[in-house]
Structure 1
């Protein structure tokens, strides 16, 4: 959830720490802070709220020092106050932490019994107090950390800075990502490559349970058992992680408008355009031909991408699919037939519940396939095969281009599976290939509706409750539309299968209730139009997202319509994502909400 940065530099590092925190602010924005060593003495500055508050503090109270750590927080334990902000510190050690220490209460009680007084409500402070106690007992910094790490339960990434140790950082990870960056006489520590991109493209990711002893000359890596190990360094393409809003007001709308490009890039990776065939060399030994069942597991918007994919796999590949949210699946102890395939979807590749579910599926004899945007992530590294999306960095907390890139990969995969299983003809594969090659153009046409969407959003922004309806693959899109509206505008919204309207939700419909109906041209459109008539008969305010046929068939004058281009129903769920994203975005803008950083949410959910 939180963002970590550490630098052993050649000059004062405060400005560089803050710059990196800006790149990590999508991971947390309740508070922020940095600590540096000035003539061997630890000094820190912290501030509650957005990062600009920390910048204001630093303007008034500059912080010198060529060694430092920084943190941007998403609160788990304790309110977002300055006292709870990181780094936490004693006069001997400062610490930044991403994750949760599950056994912090018993550790805190142990320290309290020894007379330790705590300055914060956080779970993190127990770690800095434990390490400080080890230092007081005469242990050097590396041994002090090594003694404490086995006592911690939970998911965490840690960065330590020590008084009097100008050439030392220690980083440790267990269940949360942590990367090292190698420079020329400098070293860097960060939550992800995005934080380190301004300084280096030479990276190393710590494995589960590792801790790293970092000096300006390099790093020594130790595994959980304390043995020194070698981890592979990798070089990333220059500029691959640059994040800039450009001429857009928010990252979210920029990323919505990037979808024609990134979806096209993703499709191009999996489609041999010369042969109109889908190809997945990444799958290796994974074979759909004799597969009896597919299990899909994810969280949030990624789960809804999997929900859409369920329709594709069952229709195009005739493959039965189980799908579950990872936070439930990991505890159900679901029986799984050995030799099956489990598919996990995650933008970051670090989602804690999804990773735990992956490990459960592995223990049940499943092959593991992941669809991720970060191929160096933990989920990717623990998978048998990875089908990457090519969305690029997604900074807005509410997922947009990552969602449609996930859908593009999943549809490609379903078609590929259908051909492997002998249930999809070569002609149908070629037809869908043509449709997918046309997706960038279809997206561009759909995005031209933004002006109309903006006008509709004024009225919608005054609603207290909103209902989304859809049938078939448009049902999970209705769920996604409701989720987007809730996430960034804080308006209560619910998505329903349109056929369930009469089984309860219709009781909510009155003249104050906006009902957004997603109605692509498919075999279910007539039934969806009937549901629209039912809403209209009860005075509901209808917003219809559909092509010209759907608009004409309603026969109603009081329907606010967003007329989509003619889109084949196979690929419609991908393109129809654009208007529901823009609708949520403009409603939130009219309401004056913080679109890129909605309250209480973080981009990468790396804790349970």
Structure 2
């Protein structure tokens, strides 16, 4: 989940400020360490453990010579966070510098062999074997590109690698396998990065690099070579993102900005309606749907199951992508297999999609150039725009919006499609009342644990709300279908356990109210998210977040979650944690 960057700039402009700026846009991929390498007569390296701003304050990362270089932000997977383990990694002669995203599974064997040949290692990482192998093969007479080619022939695992060498100045080489890497060019300057947000300030014309290809960048050109050294001509794809989308603007954190982006994210995603209708018409009759996803996307998929089975009457199974191989997945040409992922690069979801033959395959992703789009028959874009906070917010509501459009179109429910157009307005109402939610946050700082309960359409919302709370505030939060409380979890309820109840108007309202009464009888503090005209629920609650009464239980998953995202955010702020950098986590799980 690390982030890697490279650039070759025209007119001898300094690369370090650009590399640093790009790395900052990838910090959601890892913030254990940061490092840069540039070239000017020799390879210059600055790196250390810690957040970018603290390392930059100590080392002045932008003050490095040279018009080209590479950079890295790390999420530690092999070797603990430390200066020695931070990238870039060099060979012992300091002639090759490498940054890497991925995991080399056979690095111990390679490392021991290199040590036997006299190579000296200074880090605990798998990446350092790459720089030593490239040095070895260049010593044997290979150029930088072919040294990289011969190196990757020995590697097992996943990787995106970018390298420079003092033996071949004015050149960057890079390759990938099962880890993302995209390219860009503008005004004869060249860029490469793990993800599009890193370079969107400099170009939105993006070129994909496929597995096994090597890109060679000089100060004159950028060439993509296939495995046989043939030059590949590939046109760029223009991405409709703007530089403003990857800036915080006046918001304290990316997470808060992205919560506020949700009305527009839903509007943009709803603009895909005609495209989705055309795709579903092309697919034809479907007898069964299976959705594979992880984390937040899994919860969006569960919302999809409820709405599809309710409105389209098509049996829908939702499977955690990491557990897909353990399921009896009997699928044929009448089955629609959907992979859902914000990045389109989630390793477990890609593996699940690749593991079966027969069904029609669809990807629901937020990134147009991504691995999942290459392995499916159809792709639907969520149009949420770039999301830089580790905790997903707007991509979740965009995914649920897509699920609702699929259900409405398959179920020929134009009324539901029309009702979806009001969702951005309902979300705006919640955002305007954020002060009420912010004031509530102070009340729950004492909580070590929280319960969330919901029924029917609101159960996946409870799951997602609990995930948001635990991943950024570090409060142990669990979610249950409200009817399941009496089957065990009720034993945990006492006056120290707040219970957040999601209870919109609809057919499940009274059953959820019964569960609320059971919890109240055990002296729990009751917090409800309910309709503003629901006096009965308000009377039984210590705290209420009130929602527009026109939001019924069917629309509730798209609206109520926003209030709960805000609650998690403000509790996190009160606890003095950074919601953009939850401990031990990173975005885009490619390993």
Q: TM-score, normalised by structure 2?
A: 0.95
Paired position in structure 2 for 1:51: 52
SS at match of 1:171: strand
Paired position in structure 1 for 2:128: 125
Paired position in structure 2 for 1:2: 2
CA distance, structure 1, for counterparts of residue 239 and residue 510 of structure 2: 50
Shift of 1:569: 2.1
Shift of 1:463: 0.6
CA distance, structure 1, for counterparts of residue 188 and residue 307 of structure 2: 52
The 10-residue stretch of structure 1 (328-337 or 262-271) with the greater mean CA deviation from structure 2: 328-337
Shift of 1:456: 1.4
Paired position in structure 1 for 2:488: 504
Paired position in structure 2 for 1:89: 90
CA distance, structure 1, for counterparts of residue 508 and residue 463 of structure 2: 18
Q: In the alignment, does 2:560 pair up with 1:576?
A: yes
SS at match of 1:342: strand
* Cα offsets for 1:474-508 (capped at 9, x unmatched): 11111111100011001111111111001111000
Paired position in structure 2 for 1:250: 253
Paired position in structure 2 for 1:565: 548
Paired position in structure 1 for 2:16: 14
Paired position in structure 1 for 2:200: 197
SS at match of 1:285: helix
Q: Does the C-alpha gap of structure 1 residues 359 and 61 become closer, same or farther in structure 2, counting only changes over 3 Å?
A: closer
Q: Within 5 A, what are the aligned runs for 1:138-177?
A: 138-177=141-180
Structure 2's unaligned 5+ residue stretches are none
Paired position in structure 1 for 2:341: 346
Partner residue of 2:186 out of 183, 187, 199:
183
Q: Does the C-alpha gap of structure 1 residues 492 and 163 become closer, same or farther in structure 2, counting only changes over 3 Å?
A: same
Shift of 1:171: 0.8
Shift of 1:185: 3.3
Shift of 1:408: 0.7
* Cα offsets for 1:308-346 (capped at 9, x unmatched): 110111111110011111111145473333442101111
SS at match of 1:170: strand
CA distance, structure 2, for counterparts of residue 241 and residue 223 of structure 1: 35
CA contact (8 A) 1:283 1:385 kept: no
Q: In the alignment, does 2:434 pair up with 1:450?
A: yes
CA contact (8 A) 1:193 1:241 kept: no
SS at match of 1:512: coil
Shift of 1:164: 3.2
SS at match of 1:280: helix
Shift of 1:606: 1.2
Q: In the alignment, does 2:351 pair up with 1:368?
A: no
CA contact (8 A) 1:260 1:444 kept: yes
Paired position in structure 2 for 1:426: none
Q: Does the C-alpha gap of structure 1 residues 303 and 60 become closer, same or farther in structure 2, counting only changes over 3 Å?
A: closer
SS at match of 2:283: coil
CA contact (8 A) 1:241 1:393 kept: no
* Cα offsets for 1:26-66 (capped at 9, x unmatched): 21111000001121x11200011100133124338932111
CA contact (8 A) 2:34 2:86 kept: yes
Q: How many residues align?
A: 586
Structure 1's unaligned 5+ residue stretches are 272-277, 420-428
Paired position in structure 2 for 1:390: 383
Q: TM-score, normalised by structure 1?
A: 0.93
CA contact (8 A) 1:327 1:353 kept: yes
CA contact (8 A) 1:210 1:224 kept: yes
Q: In the alignment, does 2:398 pair up with 1:405?
A: yes
